[in-house]
């Protein structure tokens, strides 16, 4: 069984826990109509698969310096959200769409910034030469898939935000802090994939 087949089979299972649907803020704080967006979850086809993540540049207007999957808002020219994720991954990290074996769509996640993000799972060859966009991506790194999906690494934390306490997940990997929507999507994948 290929990695893509194994992932597709795992995605079809019933999740082992409740899925996270959004940032957990009050409904009046959310944009009335969310903006459609998609991210690519690029999983490397190795004996021990990994996930390629980006660290955003500090100069970006939204989510500066944060760790994220490559992705962004849907453009009118995108035929679907898979096309959005593939286009954004090519723009942000130089990942050719033809190098991605698309597994399928994961569970949507609503952000406090007004986006409804659809993760697109894709398998990519290991050790591709990727070229980050200097304007958007400060660095690229790979984290073992098993590490990300292990619930022992999913830490529920809180912080003050706009006068109230906001709860969210974070995952620490070496000197990296994966948190917010990216961590929530990883938690959802963990509950959906039940990886072993």
48: confidence class by pLDDT, cuts 50, 70, 90: very high
Q: What is the largest CA-CA distance in the chain?
A: 50
Residue 31 has pLDDT above 60, yes or no: no
For the stretch 59-94, pLDDT in tens is 656 555 689 999 999 999 999 999 999 999 999 999
DSSP structure string for 123-148: EE-TT------TTTEEEEEEEEHHHH
Lowest-confidence pick of 20-24, 98-102, 169-173: 20-24
CA pair distance 119, 85, nearest whole angstrom = 8
Place of tokens 């070496």: 174
Q: How confident is the model at residue 25 (pLDDT cuts 50, 70, 90)?
A: low
Decide: residue 48, CB within 10 A, 0-12 exposed, 13-18 middle, 19+ buried: exposed
The mean pLDDT of 182-196, rounded to a whole number, is 89
pLDDT tens digit string along 145-154?
A: 999 999 999 9
Measured between alpha carbons, how far is 41 from 54 in angstroms, rounded to an integer? Answer: 11
pTM, two decimals, is: 0.91
Residues 4-26 have a mean pLDDT of: 85
Task: Output the CA torsion sign for 89, 93, 97, 99.
Answer: negative
| pLDDT band, residue 22 (cuts 50/70/90) | confident
Stretch 119-123: mean pLDDT:
98
CA distances (Å), origin 153, targets 77, 84, 89, 121: 38, 30, 26, 21
- Higher model confidence: residue 172 or residue 194? 172
Q: What is the CA radius of gyration of the chain?
A: 16
Please report, in angstroms and rounded to a whole number, the separation of the first and last CA atoms in the chain.
Answer: 15
């Amino acid at each position: 069984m290929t990695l893509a087949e194994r992932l597709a089979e795992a995605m079809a299972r019933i999740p082992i826990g409740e899925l996270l649907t959004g940032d957990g803020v009050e409904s009046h704080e959310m944009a009335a109509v969310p903006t459609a967006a998609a991210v690519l979850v690029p999983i490397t086809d190795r004996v021990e698969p990994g996930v390629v993540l980006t660290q955003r540049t500090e100069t970006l207007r939204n989510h500066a310096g944060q760790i994220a999957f490559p992705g962004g808002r849907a453009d009118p020219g995108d035929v679907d959200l898979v096309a959005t994720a593939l286009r954004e991954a090519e723009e942000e990290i130089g990942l050719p769409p033809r190098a991605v074996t698309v597994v399928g769509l994961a569970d949507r996640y609503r952000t406090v910034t007004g986006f409804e993000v659809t993760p697109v799972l894709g398998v990519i060859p290991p050790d591709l030469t990727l070229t980050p966009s200097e304007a958007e991506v400060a660095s690229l790194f790979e984290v073992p898939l098993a590490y990300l999906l292990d619930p022992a690494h999913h830490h529920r934390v809180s912080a003050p935000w706009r006068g109230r306490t906001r709860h969210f997940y974070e995952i620490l990997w070496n000197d990296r802090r994966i948190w917010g929507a990216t961590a929530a999507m990883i938690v959802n994948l963990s509950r959906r994939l039940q990886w072993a």
